[in-house]
Chain A
């Protein structure tokens, strides 16, 4: 199992720690609030760990793992997904938004598939392949195929995160 150091985990060096530290010193002044916040952070880190563990499990899929001739998920796709998840985790703090774990699976072409269900039937699906810093997405909000929006994102950044996940929970 992938182990992360709880409470002082820093997926992107100082950003994460600064976010936590600032949060504790400014808006969570009492010890009680501090403890609640640490518990919250640790539970979120546990969720991220579970995602990374799931990816390690998917790493073991072989060709035809689904019985429908699917390709084995590529190692690069798995590495890129690990990096993306850590990045999204960090960005959620930068944006002061709630991290939620995606549902993780794979498709027939060896891409990793991340799915988040939001409110009002909204859903975001990200496809992560072998190309570094590149993902494809699909946004759907109802049953109409032609109203689904798909696209590509290079260098997933704070703006991308806020745009996608604000929409999901709006």
Chain B
């Protein structure tokens, strides 16, 4: 198996997909520009799910959950380059494989150490929304 398809590590160069729902307030379209909301990266466990593009045949369509969703792309290295300092704690972000039977491409964005509260995670969501690139627009 090529290293980039390993189930134990996500390479820095890997592209990640996330399906962003319109109905849940994940994005808005204004003057032809998609604005990604920080809510697009909501996760109760504060570990947003993503799909590893290489394990989706680099086809974002395979990550789309509904026709009105758009799919955004993120670069693993950009996420790993982030550190968040809050209340004298430095959080480092990582992307870890989390394959499931239904979705072998599944990975999660995790902090180290775990967030003490939601405030640091809110900043991460904001940051993820800013670096996310719309790769697939909704089907009209």
Quote the shortest CB–CB distance from B103 to chain A (angstroms): 12
**Measured between alpha carbons, how far is A103 from B24 in the docked complex, in Å?**
11
Residues of A within 8 A of B44 (CB): 68-71, 108-109
Q: Are A140 and B126 in contact (CB under 8 A)?
A: yes
Chain B binding surface SS class: mixed
Quote the shortest CB–CB distance from B15 to chain A (angstroms): 18
Residues of A within 8 A of B84 (CB): 145-146
**Measured between alpha carbons, how far is A119 from B45 in the docked complex, in Å?**
32
Chain B residues 88 to 140 lying within 8 A of chain A, measured CB to CB, are 118-119, 122-124, 126-127, 130-131
Residues of A within 8 A of B43 (CB): 68, 108
Quote the shortest CB–CB distance from B104 to chain A (angstroms): 19
**Is B14's CB within 8 Å of the partner chain A?**
no
* Max chain B Cβ within 10 angstroms of own Cβ: one of A107, A121, A150: A107
User: Which of A105, A127, A146 meets B122, CB within 8 Å?
Assistant: A127
**Is B35's CB within 8 Å of the partner chain A?**
yes
**Is A34's CB within 8 Å of the partner chain B?**
no
Residues of B within 8 A of A143 (CB): 127, 130-131
Given A143-B131, A145-B84: A107 and B119 within 8 A (CB)? no
Residues of B within 8 A of A107 (CB): 39, 42, 118
Q: Are A68 and B28 in contact (CB under 8 A)?
A: no
Contact count band on B: 20 to 34
User: Which of A106, A140, A146 meets B39, CB within 8 Å?
Assistant: A106
Given A69-B45, A143-B131: A105 and B24 within 8 A (CB)? yes
Chain A residues 19 to 72 lying within 8 A of chain B, measured CB to CB, are 58, 65-71
> CB-CB contacts of A102-146 with B at 8 A, as 1s and 0s?
011111110001010100010101010000000010101001011
Residues of A within 8 A of B26 (CB): 105
Q: Are A113 and B131 in contact (CB under 8 A)?
A: no
**Is A148's CB within 8 Å of the partner chain B?**
yes
Q: Are A103 and B123 in contact (CB under 8 A)?
A: no
Q: Are B24 and A65 in contact (CB under 8 A)?
A: yes
Residues of A within 8 A of B28 (CB): 103
Residues of A within 8 A of B45 (CB): 68-69
Residues of B within 8 A of A104 (CB): 25
Query: 17 A-B pairs, CB-CB below 8 angstroms?
Result: A65-B24, A66-B24, A68-B43, A68-B44, A71-B44, A105-B24, A106-B24, A106-B42, A107-B39, A113-B25, A115-B37, A121-B130, A125-B122, A136-B119, A143-B130, A145-B126, A150-B119
Residue numbers of A with Cβ under 8 A of B are 58, 65-71, 103-109, 113, 115, 117, 121, 123, 125, 127, 136, 138, 140, 143, 145-146, 148, 150
Residue numbers of B with Cβ under 8 A of A are 21, 24-26, 28, 35, 37-39, 42-45, 49, 65, 82-85, 118-119, 122-124, 126-127, 130-131
